[in-house]
């Protein structure tokens, strides 16, 4: 493992196939776009797996800066918009997990793994991670240019105080229920009571 991958592991907390996927995607993008000091690079991720931590650590795309956009599609797909040259690249991770590894992970999720199977699973995971880290880009990644409208830059919205719980929230996230302007959390609780 190289120093850059070690930094990603340190940020994430452990080594896993998902992190290796994100590392490979981010490594590819680093060769085609500049790292984002502010919002020059925007990442649109279609999953909330370990892979996204590598995107954050290596490319400086974060929710806090507003240049990390999450779409809950459950796909290992990452689209990057480079503001400097108005180009967008969509990357789909097409590498396939070994079938046996999937079977063992399913058994583990049900607490049905034997000690022998646990060792087998760990060996398969390590082999798969090494495959992801060392395979050629064209073997792992489906990359294409896409037309994408320029993503909005991050905006700072006024803070309102919820008339129910008295906590501050972002104005754009407010709702109205029972004649009150409230936060989304209170809205979910109150909406049925008002009707």
- For residue 70, the Cα-to-chain-centroid distance in whole angstroms is 7
Helices 3-12, 17-30: inter-axial angle, 10-degree rounding: 130
Q: What does the pLDDT look like over 64-91, one tens digit per residue?
A: 888 999 999 999 999 999 987 878 999 9
Structural domain harbouring 186? 159-194
Residue 100: predicted pLDDT = 92
In this structure, is residue 140 part of a structural domain? Answer: yes
In this structure, is residue 180 part of a structural domain? Answer: yes
Both 85 and 163 in one domain: the answer is: no
Does this model's pTM top 0.85? no
Distance CA 182, CA 13 (A): 37
- Per-residue pLDDT for 179 more than 70? yes
Helices 115-134, 17-30: inter-axial angle, 10-degree rounding: 10
Both 91 and 163 in one domain: the answer is: no
In this structure, is residue 111 part of a structural domain? Answer: no
Element (H, E) at 57: helix 51-59
In this structure, is residue 129 part of a structural domain? Answer: no
In this structure, is residue 54 part of a structural domain? Answer: yes
Q: What does the pLDDT look like over 92-105, one tens digit per residue?
A: 999 888 999 999 99
Scan for tokens 């880290």, then name that residue: 133
Both 58 and 25 in one domain: the answer is: yes
Scan for tokens 């309102």, then name that residue: 160
Look up the CATH number of the domain holding residue 76: 3.30.1330.130
Both 90 and 163 in one domain: the answer is: no
Both 141 and 164 in one domain: the answer is: no
Q: Where are the beta strands (DSSP E) in the chain?
A: 41-45, 68-70, 77-82, 87-93, 141-146, 159-161, 168-170, 175-177, 180-182
> Count of domains in the chain?
2
Region of residue 192 (phi > 0: left; psi between -120 and 50: alpha; otherwise: beta): alpha
In this structure, is residue 38 part of a structural domain? Answer: yes
Both 175 and 140 in one domain: the answer is: no
- Answer yes or no: are the C-beta atoms of 117 and 165 closer than 8 Å: no
Both 141 and 168 in one domain: the answer is: no
Both 7 and 39 in one domain: the answer is: yes
Both 139 and 190 in one domain: the answer is: no
Helices 115-134, 99-109: inter-axial angle, 10-degree rounding: 130
In this structure, is residue 34 part of a structural domain? Answer: yes
**Side-chain half-sphere CA neighbours of 115 within 13 A:** 0
Q: Identify which of 42, 45, 136, 49 has the alpha carbon closest to the alpha carbon of residue 94.
A: 136
Both 49 and 140 in one domain: the answer is: yes
In this structure, is residue 77 part of a structural domain? Answer: yes
Q: What does the pLDDT look like over 118-160, one tens digit per residue?
A: 999 999 999 999 999 999 999 999 999 999 888 888 888 899 9
């Amino acid at each position: 493992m190289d120093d850059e991958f070690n930094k990603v592991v340190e940020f994430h907390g452990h080594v896993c196939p998902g992190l290796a996927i994100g590392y490979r995607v981010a490594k590819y993008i680093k060769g085609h776009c500049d790292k984002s000091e502010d919002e020059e690079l925007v990442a649109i991720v279609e999953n909330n797996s370990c892979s996204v931590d590598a995107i954050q650590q290596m490319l400086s795309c974060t929710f806090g800066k507003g240049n990390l956009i999450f779409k809950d599609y459950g796909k290992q797909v990452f689209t990057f918009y480079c503001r400097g040259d108005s180009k967008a690249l969509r990357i789909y991770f097409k590498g396939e997990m070994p079938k046996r590894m999937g079977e063992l992970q399913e058994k583990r999720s049900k607490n049905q793994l034997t000690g022998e199977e646990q060792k087998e699973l760990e060996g398969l995971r390590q082999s798969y991670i090494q495959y992801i880290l060392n395979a050629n880009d064209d073997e792992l990644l489906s990359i294409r240019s896409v037309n994408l409208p320029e993503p909005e830059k991050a905006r700072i919205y006024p803070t309102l105080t919820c008339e129910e719980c008295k906590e501050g929230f972002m104005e754009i996230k407010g709702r109205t229920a029972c004649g009150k302007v409230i936060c989304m959390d209170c809205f979910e609780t109150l909406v049925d009571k008002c009707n």
